[in-house]
Amino acid sequence: MMRQYELVDRVKRYNPNADEEMLDRAYVYAMKAHGSQKRASGDPFFAHPLEVAAILTDMRLDDATIIAAVLHDTVEDTAATIDEIRHLFGDEIARLVDGLTKLKKLDFVSKKATQGENFRKLLLAVAADVRVLLVKLADRLHNMRTLDHMRSDKRLRIAEETVEIYAPLAGRMGMQEIREELEELAFRHIKPDAHALITAKLAGFVDINQGLIGEIEAELGQRFAERGITATVSGRAKRPYSVWRKMERKSISFEQLSDIFGFRVIVPNVEDCYRVLGVIHTTWAMVPGRYKDYISTPKQNDYRSIHTTVVGPGHQRVELQIRTEGMDRVAEFGVAAHAIYKDGRTISAKDMTESSAYQWLRRTVDTLAESASPEEFLEHTKLELFHDQVFCFSPKGLLIALPRGATPIDFAYAVHTDVGNSAVGSKINGRNAPLLTELQNGDEVEIVRSNGQVPPAAWESLVVTGKARAAIRRATRAAVRRQYAGLGRQILDRAFDRAGRPLNDEKLKAALPRLARASVEDVLASVGRGEMFSGDVVRAVYPDLETEKRPMPEGGAGPGWFDLKQGENLKFKLPKADDGNAIPIAGMGSDLAVRFPPNGGAVPGDRIVGIMSAGEGVTIYPIQSPALAAFDNEPERWLDVRWDLEDKRKRRFPARIALQSINEPGTLAQITTVIAEHDGNIDSVKMDRPNSDFTDMTVDLTVWDLKHLNAIISELRQKPVVSAVERIIA
């Protein structure tokens, strides 16, 4: 266990002006608070916060962060209180410890909603001060290093959490070394057999190629010296998790891997990075498609480096990363690299908030208000965490970083939600391209927009960014709500007209308390969804409405009656073909939330009636449908509707026919040919053979109108193989 003076020495190595007295006080306070507590390994519990603090001293973090690390378990696991810590160590340290104490309670579980809510709380806690996240990651790293002492089920759960949440989060914060170690430790517990196998294969490969790393290091160093370039070259084999992930991603065996060795070249300045690149590419052949310049276009987590792969000595592929010392520090410590010390002067922790990595975190937190559920939020952040990136440009030169596999739709939403919602097309590098084209590094993307566009719901399954997916969901929900509200207004217009009273939003607004709705739009949408009946709204707006008192017909109100008050009824008009007061229905492709029954449908030319269903809008039935008998005692659900004959857009409508055919070769072909030749579209065919001579068929198809359907039926009746055919109206 690290001693008191050792902790102080570690901090003073990089910060001579460290507050030694407060560090000593924190050490003593935490040691007394934890007392004789033990970890699962049997070690003193106090050793854990000290190891967390040691990890953070390697990142050269400020005194407050180191002290918060020493104290981070005291409030949760001892009798210490936040007020006591505030009194002894000040507000800043108390806030950090309080944030970490709340996070201590956020154990993730397998249920997605709970996990999403916990992750939401985690990001909210760290958004106020990034140092909370740094301590949390260091805490998780030490716990993973000592995970062997846990029960097997708990080890697996913690390892899965680590590789699913904490490792990607460390990567997005630019802390690549911590990410790699977290992944490696988790891999060992999640897939122990794979880890052992790959580790053994790597060890054997390194033994066989023992001198290759030294040979490449020496040759690179010599070539750089000849050009007068000062550079430090170091090489190593890739980690087992990195190797396994590549094998899984590319579906290849270990023996098929060609770039197991990686080399890092550290130079004094940016110019030397490109000089080194020139030396490497003029010495060995570059592997096409394996060059990336993250100095010119840094990653969103501030990572800057040049990556290239060449065919080196012995025809071995070698991956190289070229960067400056400053870039290397950022690559290793990420957002923590912004809290550095120069000439003994501490740069404020606020400098860390200027990093792109932390800005990403803040943007992620901003989406909290836009996520409808914890599951959506978790999905959004996972999408952002796990993808590699491509860099694209707008026509004005704006650089947009996107996950690999992103499309122009993702690009549009990355620019602005309104741009995504109004996107109808795209141009990539000046050429028209489908919106589903996969973007490549360096593409210039121009989005073609239309103000009347609403994003199709199908886009949600096609985009790869969480922001785009969340925005499409919101737009889809808003569009559906507008449809229901539009339908609700039409229903109420006719209901108030039948009652002989005017409908206006002011009167409706005054009745909102009686309707238990917050806005007029809520009322309209509720009526459109069938959650509130128009008669209830009429009564709420005009409580004193007097209606014609008539005796209720025998057997109940039936479809010809509209119930306004108990004992007071207003005649409800059955639909007529020329009824101008009925709601026009253009079909499922219209702006109204309408649908047709699955067993027969309805087509233009049928007299139709609408039935309201709670949460589903209106179902359109032919007036002769026997299914309408089920609604005889629910007159408030009946709506006057008519076909919108003025709609010039051609639409198909669902219908069902039943046939009895003779069993002989080619019968089905003759039937489907008739339907196809008459421009009918078959959705499904069901066949049943009651005996060896005949087959009963049920055909679901779509047609333009009743005349079109009757023509198909008439032609089918002419076929010798068809003994009977009729339309089914369920």
Active site residues: 76-77
User: How many Cβ atoms are within 10 Å of 80's Cβ, its own excluded?
Assistant: 21
Give phi and psi for 450, each to the nearest 5: -140, 130
Two structure tokens written together for 642:
């008519």
Q: Can you list the alpha helix ranges (DSSP code H) found in 191-269?
A: 192-208, 212-226, 240-250
Contact 524, 483 (CB under 8 A): no
Helices (H) and strands (E) in the chain, counts: 28, 25
Q: Dihedral sign, CA of 39, 41, 44, 45? A: negative
Q: Dihedral sign, CA of 414, 415, 418, 422? A: negative
3-state secondary structure 29-47: HHHHHHCCCECCCCCECCH
Nearest to 191 by CA among 243, 125, 142: 243
Q: Can you list the alpha helix ranges (DSSP code H) found in 319-447?
A: 325-333, 356-366, 374-386, 408-415, 417-421
Start-to-end Cα distance in the chain? 79
Contact 163, 182 (CB under 8 A): yes
Question: How far is residue 417 from each of residues 470, 472, 474, measured CA to CA in Å?
Answer: 10, 9, 10
Burial of 15 (0-12, 13-18, 19+ CB in 10 A): buried
Q: Can you list the alpha helix ranges (DSSP code H) found in 581-705?
A: 667-677
3 state DSSP class of 352 = helix
User: How many Cβ atoms are within 10 Å of 497's Cβ, its own excluded?
Assistant: 12
**Pairing, β 617-622 against β 594-595:** parallel
Contact 699, 690 (CB under 8 A): no
Sequence-separated (6 or more) residues with CB below 8 Å from residue 439:
390, 392, 402, 406, 407, 408, 410, 411, 428, 445
Burial of 423 (0-12, 13-18, 19+ CB in 10 A): buried
43: left (phi over 0), alpha (psi -120 to 50) or beta: beta
Beta strand segments in 532-586, E = 561-565, 568-571, 583-585
Residues 444, 430: Cα–Cα separation, whole Å:
8
Contact 100, 68 (CB under 8 A): yes
Give phi and psi for 339, each to the nearest 5: -100, 75
* 360 bridge partner residues: none
Question: How far is residue 625 from each of residues 295, 371, 622, 690, measured CA to CA in Å?
Answer: 70, 43, 5, 27
Residues 542, 571: Cα–Cα separation, whole Å:
18
Q: Dihedral sign, CA of 13, 14, 18, 23? A: negative
Contact 174, 331 (CB under 8 A): yes
